[in-house]
């Protein structure tokens, strides 16, 4: 992408586009001189100077601190710039069965808050959950305000599909919900932050975070395709194809937990029979391993940790239950590889601790899942690189906040509105 003016765009459109382009490129670089921004954006040096001046005046760009300058060279060191926006925060919130995860970053992605709290999610009662979430949001917002930071966007990550057209949740099997507009429920309980409330699927958000991590590790353009599968609250996943999330017409494509693996198998809450989650879902595995009571007493995350511990110790019940589940999961991953040809398969949730077992797929199966070897992954098609998720528990929150932060960096005029003041009776700003 360059800053060249597109036919049919007004000068205002071009200016807004170029402001976002500069801010986004600066964010990806970490720190850059004006000459580097000119090269990466394709804009003239004079245009860069004017755009940087405007962004600086809006409080969105500042001088990079000492230590981020070029390597020593003759002449005066070049001034380097970085994204400012330390008075603007994005809040990410994710609830799972037994806890709520919270993260807040400023516009440059610098961490402001990150923690997990135990919280039982009421089954079948979204209003009760919203009451709990509202209390958490009020607490986070108050702490950020005390630091002089304006919470500008709230992203809520849910263990359920979310439609693209309306951002509603058509069905959340693990929560017992049908047709829930979570954002609307939150707006009725809290005043909406200036840049809105978004609701996103946890697996897609986690896939975005893991894909960004892979892209950062390889040369630009090398990593384009990835499959992500996780098991914690049910089984979910996301697929990146040619650099874009595979979403389908309404944003709810790629649900590996509901791929049928046993025709005429046990009925699934989704209405089908024999879905992967009916034979390899976390609750099923814990029950078969004799850990149902442990799960009731200690919660799902601790129970899954205990399952892996017992599996490593060779306890017969855990080994039998988990080996069976891993077999089904490998089958689905093999078919995903055959259908989508990803460069990497990333596994999250408690499966991240079982990567070696997932790599042990028989060679007669459709894929050659294995460790990334020379000539594999982005450099060739010898094998698919299989790796554990690196973001761990916070992968969904991290991905959701990263996505929205990058989206907002492309729209500096919206960010300028936050800096201009956010008053009224908004709970975030009182």
- Show which of 48, 64, 83 is a domain's final residue: 83
Entry pTM: 0.86
2 found inside a domain: no
What range does the domain containing 308 cover? Answer: 218-393
Using the predicted structure, report yes or no on whether residue 367 has a pLDDT greater than 90.
Answer: no
Domain tally, the chain: 3
What's the token pair of residue 359?
């790599």
pLDDT of residue 199: 96
72 found inside a domain: yes
pLDDT, tens digit, for every residue of 252-291?
999 999 999 999 999 999 999 999 999 999 999 999 999 9
Assess whether 229 and 121 both reside in one domain.
no
Question: 166 burial class (0-12, 13-18, 19+ CB within 10 angstroms)?
Answer: middle
pLDDT of residue 2: 43
181 found inside a domain: yes
Assess whether 241 and 228 both reside in one domain.
yes
Assess whether 188 and 122 both reside in one domain.
yes
Assess whether 112 and 237 both reside in one domain.
no
Per-residue pLDDT band at 368 (split at 50, 70, 90):
very low
pLDDT of residue 77: 60
- Show which of 83, 105, 135 is a domain's final residue: 83
Stretch 5-28: mean pLDDT, rounded? 83
399 found inside a domain: yes
Q: Distance between CA 118 and CA 327 in Å, rounded?
A: 32
**Pairing outcome for strands 369-370 and 99-106:** unpaired
The proportion of the chain whose per-residue pLDDT surpasses 70, expressed as a percent, equals 87
The CATH number of residue 285's host domain is: 3.30.420.40
Using the predicted structure, report yes or no on whether residue 420 has a pLDDT greater than 60.
Answer: no
Do residues 37 and 43 make contact, with C-beta atoms less than 8 angstroms apart?
Answer: yes
pLDDT of residue 205: 97
pLDDT of residue 212: 95
1 found inside a domain: no
Using the predicted structure, report yes or no on whether residue 6 has a pLDDT greater than 60.
Answer: no
The CATH number of residue 72's host domain is: 1.10.10.10
Q: What are the strands, taking DSSP E only, across 242-317?
A: 244-245
Assess whether 110 and 242 both reside in one domain.
no
Q: Distance between CA 88 and CA 144 in Å, rounded?
A: 9
pLDDT of residue 362: 40
349 Cβ contact partners less than 8 Å away, ≥ 6 residues apart? 230, 231, 232, 282, 304, 389
Using the predicted structure, report yes or no on whether residue 425 has a pLDDT greater than 60.
Answer: no
With CA atoms as reference, report the closest residue to 239 among 261, 256, 217, 222: 256
pLDDT of residue 422: 34
Q: Which run of H or E residues covers position 405?
A: helix 395-409
Do residues 60 and 85 make contact, with C-beta atoms less than 8 angstroms apart?
Answer: yes
Assess whether 382 and 401 both reside in one domain.
no
179 found inside a domain: yes
Assess whether 79 and 102 both reside in one domain.
no
Using the predicted structure, report yes or no on whether residue 74 has a pLDDT greater than 70.
Answer: no
Please tell me which residue, 374 or 56, carries the higher pLDDT value: 56
Using the predicted structure, report yes or no on whether residue 127 has a pLDDT greater than 90.
Answer: yes
Stretch 302-318: mean pLDDT, rounded? 97
Please tell me which residue, 401 or 119, carries the higher pLDDT value: 401
pLDDT of residue 12: 81
Q: What is the mean pLDDT of the chain?
A: 87
Assess whether 113 and 198 both reside in one domain.
yes
Using the predicted structure, report yes or no on whether residue 167 has a pLDDT greater than 70.
Answer: yes
- Show which of 83, 117, 136 is a domain's final residue: 83
Do residues 350 and 231 make contact, with C-beta atoms less than 8 angstroms apart?
Answer: yes
211 found inside a domain: no
Assess whether 181 and 38 both reside in one domain.
no
pLDDT of residue 78: 72
Assess whether 78 and 97 both reside in one domain.
no
pLDDT of residue 427: 39
209 found inside a domain: no
Q: How far is CA 8 from the centre of its chain?
A: 35
Assess whether 54 and 189 both reside in one domain.
no
With CA atoms as reference, report the closest residue to 155 among 212, 208, 117: 208
Assess whether 167 and 181 both reside in one domain.
yes
Please tell me which residue, 428 or 396, carries the higher pLDDT value: 396
Please tell me which residue, 345 or 98, carries the higher pLDDT value: 345
Q: Which of 103-117, 199-213, 372-386 has the lowest mean pLDDT?
A: 372-386
Q: Which residues pair with 69 in a beta bridge?
A: none
């Amino acid at each position: 992408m360059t800053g060249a003016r597109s036919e049919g765009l007004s000068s205002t459109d071009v200016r807004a586009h170029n402001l976002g382009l500069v801010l986004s490129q600066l964010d990806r670089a970490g720190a850059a001189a004006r000459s580097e921004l000119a090269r990466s954006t394709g804009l003239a040096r004079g245009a860069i100077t004017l755009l940087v001046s405007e962004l600086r005046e809006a409080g969105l760009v500042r001088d990079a601190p000492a230590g981020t300058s070029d390597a020593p060279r003759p002449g005066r060191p070049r001034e380097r710039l970085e994204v400012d926006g330390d008075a603007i925060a994005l809040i990410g919130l994710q609830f799972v069965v037994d806890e709520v995860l919270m993260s807040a970053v400023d516009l440059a992605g610098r961490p402001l808050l990150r923690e997990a709290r135990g919280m039982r999610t009421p089954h079948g009662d979204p209003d009760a959950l919203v009451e709990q979430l509202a209390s958490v949001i009020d607490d986070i917002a108050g702490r950020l305000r005390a630091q002089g930071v304006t919470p500008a966007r709230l992203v809520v990550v849910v263990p359920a599909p979310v439609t693209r057209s309306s951002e509603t949740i058509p069905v959340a099997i693990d929560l017992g919900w049908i047709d829930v507009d979570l954002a609307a429920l939150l707006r009725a309980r809290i005043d909406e932050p200036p840049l809105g409330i978004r609701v996103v699927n946890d697996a897609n958000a986690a896939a975005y975070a893991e894909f960004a991590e892979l892209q950062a590790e390889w040369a630009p353009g090398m990593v384009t395709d990835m499959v992500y599968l996780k098991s914690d609250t049910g089984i979910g996943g996301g697929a990146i194809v040619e650099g874009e999330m595979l979403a389908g017409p309404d944003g709810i494509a790629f649900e590996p937990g509901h791929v049928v693996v046993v025709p005429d198998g046990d009925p699934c809450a989704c209405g089908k029979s024999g879905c992967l989650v009916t034979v390899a879902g976390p609750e099923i595995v814990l029950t078969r391993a004799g850990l149902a009571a442990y799960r009731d007493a200690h919660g799902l995350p601790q129970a899954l940790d205990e399952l892996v511990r017992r599996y490593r110790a060779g306890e017969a019940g855990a080994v039998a239950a988990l080996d069976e589940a891993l077999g089904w999961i490998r089958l689905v991953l093999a078919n995903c590889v055959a259908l989508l040809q990803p460069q990497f398969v990333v596994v999250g949730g408690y499966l991240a601790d079982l990567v070696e077992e997932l790599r042990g797929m028989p060679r007669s199966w459709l894929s050659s899942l294995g460790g990334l070897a020379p000539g594999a992954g982005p450099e060739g098609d010898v094998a698919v690189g299989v790796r554990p998720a690196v973001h761990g528990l916070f992968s969904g929150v991290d991905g959701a906040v990263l996505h929205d932060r990058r989206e907002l960096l492309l729209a500096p005029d919206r960010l300028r509105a936050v800096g201009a003041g956010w008053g009224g009776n908004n709970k975030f700003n009182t």
